[in-house]
Structure 1
Amino acid sequence: MKVPFNILSKAYFMKQEEYEKKAIEILRSGWYVLGNEVKQFEKEFANYIGSKYSVGVDNGLNALVIAFRELGIGLGDEVIVQANTYIASVMGITMNGATPVFIEPDQYFNIDVDKIEESITDKTKAICVVHLYGQASNMDRIMEIAQKYNLEVVEDCAQSHGADFNGKRTGTFGIGCFSFYPSKNLGCFGDGGAITINNEKYDRDFRVLRNYGSEKRYYNEVVGYNSRLDELQAGLLRVKLSHLDELTAEREKIANKYLAEIKNSKIELPLIREGATSVWHLFVVKTDERDRLQKYLEENGVGTVIHYPIPPHLSKAYEYLGYKKGDFPITEKYAETVLSLPLYNGMSDEEQSYVIELINKYK
């Protein structure tokens, strides 16, 4: 049996008629940028997340870039961020000229809140919280620290659409930055992103920044970006958003089957923090024999992915920060031991059972 890591088309075919009807409707409308579909999606997404406002942008990275810019964070400022995140979280900081201050992760793969305060300096302006792999971070403690030191909070919610902490959804604690890359839980059919906020001024400013720095055409207030969510992606996202709870429940069912049935002492299963929920963007296990396990699964037809093999502080892109191997041992250990198993909407019971059987047989 062949079980790929992901099959995006399965989710499409589940709602094929709805997607195609919406696509044709938009194509025939003759309006393709910043029209009714974007407006309606922004309202519906804000309502789903629980924020007052939502601003559609072209991708998750630019959501972060625009968020930090709006906060006035730049050269000479520091932003705390977990070391084991995807590099885009860090790029959102450095593309504004600010310096990332890395913090080790906890056992849930999210930022270790007990290590934040010791890294705060008079240059610290914000905490970038990444809800990695779909699980909400320890937001109550993070918001306490932010309030204590008067720090801004930017949430990288690229993998956590609909996850919550103590009943409050990610993207509503600080400024929420979302990606709708096709593989995300709420993925579009190309690139897309959004920023969620409860501040009316930020809402207005983000709309200006995403559109060349203008609210009224040809009247440019600032040097902005061409960073708009297009009508076609917004319309298709509206279709998927209407089914997101159903899609999340399916992912939870798959994850729960893995958690209940994978039984191998060499494999460490993911943990869920008390008070947090996960939308299971990824199902990430740990093993000291990661490369061997990955090869074994590949030889038996099962696809896996490593999220992520090179931590940002060891990437060539951030050599200038001066970090070396050994500076963040927990992060580096995760990079050497994590492996993401197949988990996608439309995955059959037979496919799941095959993956579980293979892992349980692994010696």
Structure 2
Amino acid sequence: MVPFLDLKAQYRGMKAEIDEAVIAAIDSTQFVMGPQVGAFEERFAAFCNTRHCKAVSSGTSALHLALLAAGIGAGDEVVTVSMTFVATTAAILYSGAKPVFVDIDPRTWTMDPALIEAAVTPRTRAIIPVHLHGLMADMDAIMAIARRHNLIVIEDAAQAHGAEYKGRRAGSIGDLGCFSFYPGKNLGAYGEGGAVVCNDDDLARRISLLRDWGQESKYNHVLAGYNYRMDGIQGAVLNVKMNYIEAWTEARRTIAAQYDRLLASHPYRRPAPRDDCRHVYHVYAIEIPQRDSVQAALDAADIKTGIHYPVPVHLQKAYADLGGRPGDLPVTEALASRFLSLPIYAELRSEQVSMVVSELNKVTLTEAA
């Protein structure tokens, strides 16, 4: 069997360090925020090459607070993509604003900058590009459009810890960058967690207040805030994992390169990252016809796969009131029906990668026959 993700293998590799850090966090009785979280914030800000990191309770709360700190609210519009997890859209709606979807580039599977300006109206206040699967969007083009129209840029970097665009880290190019530390992420907590990074002192201060009930000091509430704080145990876990994130990233990139070599003679399309970008492969996805039957056959062979994402947000029942219809975003919709995510994690062995591709070849040959 080849699992899609093996968090137990990761834990076994650092069990003593994790256990010690968690016990120390419990012994300290600093269960909410506290020194472990503060230490992680310093390390993650340095990792992202930003001045500030504010740890929060989830990637969703990171996006929500970034929007609020930037002053986005009722009546505003935010340009984003539908090929993403629903949290991107949900956070925009939480802020009172309206998401406006643009299609993705068929080569990179990230926001197509050529479509942004047509979506901008007098109500547009922000752009949220999504760094899908660990590959950063075309940030220079997006930032140029944003500056022409005086728009805030919030990077949804939930899948892009350590990704780079022209030597700049994910989260460091836009006005704000938002990360998730959900357990399956490249840098995952042992529960929920997230962070906002930025270089602006005022934005950082506002996020610090908003995550902690708007308190400037205890019981002194200067903003109407939220309970979006990170707990101390997650800070402890993430501090340990920071020791490994670069090695894990390079392991993922090595595995992706092996997939690339083994699939080079096959017609399975993959994203085309720029030479000056560092893809961190949170997901290794291929575009394949008859995706559902191929996935079922691989599952029968004990090869576990995923789909990121099978139904775009604009076609989800929960967001039908936004008015999305089939055909609105043709590239997004076509890819959603053909994406298949193959196993990838730092502990995946070379022979397992070969096994995945071998079974994939058998399945697709059968499909073709």
TM-score range, shorter chain: over 0.9
Check conservation: 1:270, 1:283, Cα contact below 8 A: no
| Structural mapping, 1:154-303, within 5 Å | 154-174=154-174, 175-263=176-264, 265-303=266-304
Partner of 1:353: 354
Q: Is the partner of 1:196 in helix, strand or coil?
A: strand
Moved more, 276-285 or 344-353: 344-353
Looking at structure 2, the residues matched to 136 and 332 of structure 1 have their Cα atoms a distance apart, in angstroms, of 20
Partner of 2:19: 20
Looking at structure 1, the residues matched to 147 and 323 of structure 2 have their Cα atoms a distance apart, in angstroms, of 30
Q: List per-residue Cα deviations over 1:120-154 (Å, max 9, x = no partner).
A: 11111110011010011111111111111111000
Partner of 1:80: 79
Aligned-partner residue type, residue 322 of structure 1? G
Check conservation: 1:264, 1:360, Cα contact below 8 A: no
Partner of 1:132: 132
Q: Is the partner of 1:108 in helix, strand or coil?
A: coil
Partner of 1:65: 64
Looking at structure 1, the residues matched to 349 and 275 of structure 2 have their Cα atoms a distance apart, in angstroms, of 29
Looking at structure 1, the residues matched to 30 and 76 of structure 2 have their Cα atoms a distance apart, in angstroms, of 41
Looking at structure 1, the residues matched to 25 and 321 of structure 2 have their Cα atoms a distance apart, in angstroms, of 46
Q: Is the partner of 1:55 in helix, strand or coil?
A: strand
| Structural mapping, 1:331-350, within 5 Å | 331-350=332-351
Q: Does 1:319 align with 2:320?
A: yes
Check conservation: 1:137, 1:276, Cα contact below 8 A: no
How far apart are residue 93 of structure 1 and its match?
Answer: 0.7
Looking at structure 2, the residues matched to 129 and 234 of structure 1 have their Cα atoms a distance apart, in angstroms, of 27
How far apart are residue 316 of structure 1 and its match?
Answer: 1.3
Q: Is the partner of 2:305 in helix, strand or coil?
A: coil
Q: List per-residue Cα deviations over 1:28-60 (Å, max 9, x = no partner).
A: 112211211111111110011000000000000
How far apart are residue 117 of structure 1 and its match?
Answer: 1.1
Check conservation: 2:76, 2:124, Cα contact below 8 A: yes
Looking at structure 2, the residues matched to 257 and 94 of structure 1 have their Cα atoms a distance apart, in angstroms, of 40
How far apart are residue 345 of structure 1 and its match?
Answer: 2.0
Looking at structure 1, the residues matched to 274 and 79 of structure 2 have their Cα atoms a distance apart, in angstroms, of 21
- Structure 1's consecutive aligned runs of 4 or more residues displaced over 4 angstroms after TM superposition are none
Looking at structure 2, the residues matched to 274 and 127 of structure 1 have their Cα atoms a distance apart, in angstroms, of 25
Structure 2 spans left out of the alignment, 5+ residues:
none
Looking at structure 2, the residues matched to 143 and 326 of structure 1 have their Cα atoms a distance apart, in angstroms, of 28
Check conservation: 2:76, 2:97, Cα contact below 8 A: yes
Looking at structure 2, the residues matched to 158 and 338 of structure 1 have their Cα atoms a distance apart, in angstroms, of 19
Check conservation: 1:130, 1:137, Cα contact below 8 A: yes
How far apart are residue 15 of structure 1 and its match?
Answer: 1.1
Q: List per-residue Cα deviations over 1:202-231 (Å, max 9, x = no partner).
A: 111111100111021111112110000111
Looking at structure 2, the residues matched to 94 and 258 of structure 1 have their Cα atoms a distance apart, in angstroms, of 38
Partner of 1:89: 88
Partner of 1:305: 306
Aligned-partner residue type, residue 182 of structure 2? Y
Structure 1 spans left out of the alignment, 5+ residues:
none
Looking at structure 1, the residues matched to 49 and 267 of structure 2 have their Cα atoms a distance apart, in angstroms, of 40
Q: List per-residue Cα deviations over 1:274-320 (Å, max 9, x = no partner).
A: 32211000000001211121111111110111111111111112111
How far apart are residue 22 of structure 1 and its match?
Answer: 0.8
How far apart are residue 263 of structure 1 and its match?
Answer: 4.7
Q: Is the partner of 1:54 in helix, strand or coil?
A: strand
Partner of 2:114: 114
Partner of 1:101: 100
Moved more, 341-350 or 172-181: 341-350
Aligned-partner residue type, residue 214 of structure 2? G
Looking at structure 2, the residues matched to 270 and 105 of structure 1 have their Cα atoms a distance apart, in angstroms, of 12
How far apart are residue 358 of structure 1 and its match?
Answer: 1.2
Looking at structure 2, the residues matched to 226 and 15 of structure 1 have their Cα atoms a distance apart, in angstroms, of 31
Looking at structure 2, the residues matched to 358 and 6 of structure 1 have their Cα atoms a distance apart, in angstroms, of 18
Check conservation: 1:10, 1:345, Cα contact below 8 A: no
Looking at structure 2, the residues matched to 35 and 74 of structure 1 have their Cα atoms a distance apart, in angstroms, of 31
Moved more, 55-64 or 90-99: 90-99
With structure 2 as the length reference, what TM-score do the two structures score?
0.96
With structure 1 as the length reference, what TM-score do the two structures score?
0.97
Aligned-partner residue type, residue 9 of structure 1? K
Check conservation: 2:70, 2:203, Cα contact below 8 A: no
Looking at structure 2, the residues matched to 201 and 224 of structure 1 have their Cα atoms a distance apart, in angstroms, of 16
